[in-house]
Amino acid sequence: MHSKKLFLFDFDGVIVDGMNEYWNSALLACEKYLNSPEIFIDHNLYKQVSNTFIEMRPWVKYGWEMLIIVHEITKRENSLNNNNKINFQNKYHQNCEEILLKNSWISEDLQKCLDKSRKNQIDQDFDSWVNLHKPFYEVINFIERIKKDKIKSGIITTKGKLFAEKILEKLNIFPELVFGYESGTKVEIASKLSNEYEIMGFIEDRKKTLVDIKQNNYTKHIPCYLADWGYLKKNDRNKLPYEIKLLKLKDLEQLVAI
């Protein structure tokens, strides 16, 4: 039994709602850095998040995929919309790969475009960029609460660590551990951490990630909680496998008693 205790948290959709930031940063990346002749971006688009984008967000695993979605939404012809989004979702990963291939794009390059977009906004108007994120104060309070019980908090995000830390600092949250996409997969990170800590729980809003944790021999012992307030697909709450528990914001405090 490890003497050090740790709670793990996803970031986007668990600690903050970053939907406005995703949309604006992906739009800017497509407009400034993608150089695609297929798209037209009206600046009025920056004022409100596309409903199609909101509906597609639960399928996204990595940031670069958001550029794919925004590219398809802003195409001049055959654009992605509420009428055809189901077809895109049904073969989501295949469609993303086909779009990469068709445009001779590399996912790592798209991620760099997104990171460049974020850095551009931070350099120009940091406060405006941070304010695109809406914190879930119940989670922030929970992180403060467990700190009093000598339980550490760790954040594992597919956002770049630099950007996550800037948001956390602005929100006055200082977890002991922060891992960005640069550190590897969430399963890999959790596996390494379990050698040093007793992991009290992992709170995540992507069901597939929690299933991966539970199917891995080195992490299957970790209690997993699906964040009810996050970016969930329509059927994610139904029949959760592997003893994954659905967690509501109002029930956070009960995790300490467990």
Nearest in space to 55 (alpha carbons), one of 35, 31, 27, 83: 83
For residue 1, what pLDDT is reported? 57
Judgement on whether residues 86 and 197 belong to the same structural domain of the protein: no
Return d(Cα 100, Cα 91) in angstroms, integer: 14
Residue that finishes a domain, picked among 130, 151, 179: 130
Residue that finishes a domain, picked among 87, 106, 130: 130
User: What's the CATH number where 240 sits?
Assistant: 3.40.50.1000
pLDDT tens digit sequence for 154-176: 999 999 999 999 999 998 999 99
Residue that finishes a domain, picked among 130, 155, 183: 130
Q: Which domain holds residue 97?
A: 19-130
Determine how β-strand 245-247 pairs with β-strand 224-227: parallel
Judgement on whether residues 230 and 138 belong to the same structural domain of the protein: yes
Count of beta carbons in the 10 Å neighbourhood of residue 251: 13
Could you write out the DSSP letters of every residue in 179-202?
Answer: E-GGG--HHHHHHHHTTTSEEEEE
Two structure tokens written together for 254: 């009960």
Put residue 251 in one of left, alpha, beta given phi > 0 → left and psi -120 to 50 → alpha: alpha
Judgement on whether residues 173 and 118 belong to the same structural domain of the protein: no
Judgement on whether residues 107 and 165 belong to the same structural domain of the protein: no
In the sheet that holds 245-247, the strands lie side by side as 177-179, 151-156, 5-9, 198-204, 224-227, 245-247
Judgement on whether residues 101 and 161 belong to the same structural domain of the protein: no
pLDDT tens digit sequence for 176-186: 999 999 999 99
Return d(Cα 191, Cα 219) in angstroms, integer: 6
| 8 Å CB contact between 71 and 38 | yes
Alpha helices in 131-184 (DSSP H): 137-148, 161-170
Judgement on whether residues 73 and 29 belong to the same structural domain of the protein: yes
Judgement on whether residues 107 and 162 belong to the same structural domain of the protein: no
- CA angle at 219 for the pair 216 and 221, rounded to the nearest 5°: 115
Return d(Cα 69, Cα 88) in angstroms, integer: 10
Judgement on whether residues 36 and 78 belong to the same structural domain of the protein: yes
Q: pLDDT 10s digit of each residue in the chain, 258 long?
A: 577 999 999 999 999 999 999 999 999 999 999 989 999 999 899 999 999 999 999 999 999 999 999 999 999 999 999 899 999 999 999 999 999 999 999 999 999 999 999 999 999 999 999 999 999 999 999 999 999 999 999 999 999 999 999 999 998 999 999 999 999 999 999 999 999 999 999 999 999 999 999 999 999 999 999 999 999 998 999 989 999 999 999 999 889 775
Two structure tokens written together for 241: 């496998």
Two structure tokens written together for 120: 């551009």
Judgement on whether residues 246 and 144 belong to the same structural domain of the protein: yes
Number of domains, the chain: 2
Judgement on whether residues 242 and 179 belong to the same structural domain of the protein: yes
Judgement on whether residues 24 and 12 belong to the same structural domain of the protein: no
Torsion of CA 122, 123, 124, 127, to 10 degrees: 40
Judgement on whether residues 161 and 242 belong to the same structural domain of the protein: yes
